Amino acid sequence: MLWLELRDGFDTDALYTRAIRERICFAPGGLFTAGDGYRNCLRLSCSHDWDARIERSVARLGELPHGPLLAR
């Protein structure tokens, strides 16, 4: 697994909604707490062999936050 912490105020739930529309899946950080923490974090699985499809998906995931601001 790869755990990413993004800037404070970033909403990975909103990013997940955008990403899943493009068939890109990750785990928003809020899933890993009973409280309201880790909302600016996400977890990526690294258990699949790296291929061109995964590379494109990771690159696209990096582009998605540059659309409308995803702050809470």
What pTM was computed for the model? 0.81
Quote the pLDDT of residue 47.
Answer: 85
Kindly list the averaged pLDDT for each block of 10 residues, start to end, along the chain of length 72: 91 93 95 92 90 93 72 53
Are β-strands 2-5 and 27-28 bridged in parallel, bridged antiparallel, or unpaired?
A: unpaired
What is the C-alpha separation between 5 and 35, in angstroms, rounded? 17
